[in-house]
Amino acid sequence: MKRIMQRSFLILIVSLVFFGGICFLAFRLLTQNSMWVQQPYNGHMSSSNGLAQAGDIVDRDGAVLAHTDASKNRVYHEDLTTREALLHVVGDNSLNISTAVQSSYRNELTNYSFIWGLGMPNSLKSGKSLALTVDAGACRAAYEALGSHKGACVIYNYKTGEVLCSTSTLSYDPENPPEINEDNEEQYDGVYLDNTISSTFTPGSIFKIVTAAAAIKYIPDIYEQSFYCEGEYEIEGSKITCEEYHGYQNFDEAFSHSCNCAFAQIALQVGRENLTKTAEELGFNKELFMDDIALVKSHYDVSQAGDNELAWSGIGQYTDLSNPMHMAMLCGSIATGGTAKAPYLIQDHDSFLAQLGIEKKAADVQMLDANTSEQVKVLMRNAANYYYNARGLDLAGLNFCAKTGTAEIGEDKEPNAWFVGFTEDDAHPYAFAAVVAEGGYGISAAASVVSAAMYELVY
């Protein structure tokens, strides 16, 4: 009897282990089946480069960005500049740009089915195409304006989350990809990264948006204070400098002047805890998403900083780093009263797994309270109305709120130029961020990129 009990117990254990294994396999199959199929050693995929049976990729107006022709070749937009402008969004025949649609949404494009795998009968195939939210003309215009500089431009609808313009430089023609080897790897450094979502850059003065938000929240008399600038301000024996002499300014004027001396003092008044708290609420050090693709995190850390470094961090230097898509989201949150709409690139992308909550999916992000976002909006509106417009900057005739940035990145290099903000227009509610690496001054270099794309979107 004892032996029977022992054997029964053993069989029970074995059964439980077996059942647990089946459950684990089923879960992995359900959640990761597509990844297994896409492995390079899957002969069904690699024999045709994986794309011979892929559907079309079209822009928001139906312009064909990629399709497979009768000879099973993958071909891209007919215009070379448009192909280059959309390389990082669409991808090429390789899997090198891992965030591109052809890599990330290969299952949808190739009609991979959980039941049929890749072998779905032709009679059942629907010729799956993916419609993107981007406007190819706007991407092309931004790409051309970026010229030979490394950089990125993103514009998204802050009410719906649709990404309308996304381009990243440097780029290449997806129909004629370069052979990258030891001799030319420097020339193509970082070319497989989509700078809009996978890169960060020193923010410089656009970070004053964060410092200003923290000041509004934590310094009760910030609007009554006066800041004196004589071109430099000394902290711990080392100088914070401005390009010019700004004299006496209130908080609003200091923001519009982008006065480093004033914002260094403001950063110190806010203090490291509150500045860190505000930066993190605004999305720094935080995982954010576009569709189900994680953006590289923007960085803010003053845990080891002295007062001088804390001051520099408040004007977007020190170790601060910003991701362009995140900056557009941050501006979108200011436009809408505090909540950044989750950005997306794929129209109607709502997969079965996303609905079950198994697959990660972008969610709207609460960044600011309504009062603070309204105050920051006024600062950015005044900067645009009294300074940027006065210098001839025009965004397709729309009213806008903005901040420029010129980020120092080293002694021998031209600074990074930034332009971020949003339009105030019911028919065109667009948040934007453009960065031009070593592009010089924000207003001339980066703003012209946004302006070029905006004209394409509006007209």
Judged by the rule CB under 5 A, the positions of this chain that interact with Zn ion are 229, 242, 246, 259, 261
Q: What's the full length of the chain, in residues?
A: 459
Q: Where are the alpha helices (DSSP H) in 68-168?
A: 80-85, 87-90, 101-104, 106-110, 136-146
Minimum distance from residue 245 beta carbon to Zn ion (Å) = 7
From CA 402, how far away is CA 379, in angstroms rounded?
9
Contact (Cβ atoms closer than 8 angstroms) between residue 88 and residue 159: no
Minimum distance from residue 263 beta carbon to Zn ion (Å) = 9
User: Which of helix, strand or coil describes residue 369?
Assistant: coil
Minimum distance from residue 313 beta carbon to Zn ion (Å) = 17
- Lookup: tokens for 114: 């959980």
Helix axes 442-458, 136-146, angle to 10 degrees: 160
Q: Which is nearer to Zn ion, 261 or 407 (CB)?
A: 261
Minimum distance from residue 342 beta carbon to Zn ion (Å) = 37
Q: Which is nearer to Zn ion, 79 or 230 (CB)?
A: 230
Q: Which is nearer to Zn ion, 191 or 443 (CB)?
A: 443
Minimum distance from residue 315 beta carbon to Zn ion (Å) = 10
Partners of residue 163 on adjacent β-strands: 156
From CA 37, how far away is CA 20, in angstroms rounded?
24
Tell which residue, 446, 452, 428, has the closest CA to residue 157.
428
Minimum distance from residue 223 beta carbon to Zn ion (Å) = 18
- Kindly tell me the sign of the dihedral angle through the C-alpha atoms of 49, 54, 60, 61: positive
Q: Which is nearer to Zn ion, 261 or 330 (CB)?
A: 261
Minimum distance from residue 142 beta carbon to Zn ion (Å) = 31
Partners of residue 131 on adjacent β-strands: 58
Q: Which is nearer to Zn ion, 138 or 261 (CB)?
A: 261
Minimum distance from residue 258 beta carbon to Zn ion (Å) = 8
Minimum distance from residue 165 beta carbon to Zn ion (Å) = 33
Contact (Cβ atoms closer than 8 angstroms) between residue 167 and residue 88: yes
**Pairing state between β 151-157 and 339-340:** unpaired
Backbone angles phi, psi at 435, to 5 degrees: -130, 135
Across the beta sheet with 130-131, the strand order is 74-76, 64-68, 57-58, 130-131
Tell which residue, 352, 290, 276, has the closest CA to residue 327.
290
Q: Where are the alpha helices (DSSP H) in 282-409?
A: 307-314, 324-335, 352-356, 370-383
From CA 439, how far away is CA 409, in angstroms rounded?
11
Q: Which is nearer to Zn ion, 255 or 318 (CB)?
A: 255
From CA 395, how far away is CA 151, in angstroms rounded?
19
Minimum distance from residue 253 beta carbon to Zn ion (Å) = 10
Contact (Cβ atoms closer than 8 angstroms) between residue 88 and residue 101: no
3-state helix, strand, coil in the chain (%, to 5): 40, 20, 40
Q: Which is nearer to Zn ion, 79 or 234 (CB)?
A: 234
Q: Which is nearer to Zn ion, 217 or 246 (CB)?
A: 246
Q: Which is nearer to Zn ion, 165 or 261 (CB)?
A: 261
- Lookup: tokens for 118: 């890749």
Minimum distance from residue 306 beta carbon to Zn ion (Å) = 22
